[in-house]
Amino acid sequence: LGAIPIIRCSRGTAAEMVAVKLDKKLRENLRDARNSLFTGDTLGAGQFSFQRPLLVLADRNIDLATPLHHTWTYQALVHDVLDFHLNRVNLEESTGTESSPAGARPKKKNKKSYDLTASDKFWQKHKGSPFPEVAESVQQELESYRAQEDEVKRLKSIMGIEGEDEGAISMLSDNTAKLTSAVSSLPELLEKKRLIDLHTNVATAVLEHIKV
């Protein structure tokens, strides 16, 4: 370790017994220069350094791996692996590659910020969901948006119905009402698209960190 460690352990366990014996052994060797564990050039003045390492002694029946794992929920992963502070996540997005004499290389990354607030319906609904479910939900929202967008385009294309018979007029009236409804919901549709793009970028950034 290169210095005298600070020993920590849980009380009332076998780890405490080992820690007490180790502490006693270290103190004895520090007092006895003829039988010291710290003689030689490996430590020198480092044994009295203020930057001492921490030695944690744990009982073998304690699961140490689980506390080190990332929680698998969307919000926890965003907090753990991304630059997330005060409900704002900052991402670095590459603009692609550029050619150079040495070959293709990544272009300079652009920094973008997204706010994940209470007004974000997708975030409020899925921030506590497992990440795989979030990825599926983003895809479902995208498909729903595309279906609504295609419906608006379809209504626009058939507004030029020819003919003056009663059936054509009735169909035109019905389609006009549908198109009016679709146009009135356009701001909501655009907001939905914005949230889809936002969470697609955030989820992609999380996935890239998971792969690493």
Helix, coil or strand: residue 98: strand
Helix, coil or strand: residue 112: strand
Which two structure tokens, joined as six digits, stand for 91? Answer: 């991402």
Tens digits of residue pLDDT in 33-88: 665 565 555 555 545 556 788 999 988 888 878 777 778 999 999 999 999 999 99
**Residue that has been written with the tokens 């010291």 in this structure:** 36
- Model pTM score: 0.59
Task: Return d(Cα 147, Cα 194) in angstroms, integer.
Answer: 16
Taking the domains of the chain in order of start, what are their residue ranges? 6-67, 74-89+117-211
Task: Return d(Cα 121, Cα 66) in angstroms, integer.
Answer: 31
DSSP 8-state secondary structure symbol assigned to residue 117? -
Residue type, 29: N
DSSP 8-state secondary structure symbol assigned to residue 111? E
- Please count the other Cβ atoms lying within 10 Å of the Cβ belonging to residue 206: 22
Tens digits of residue pLDDT in 121-134: 999 999 999 999 99
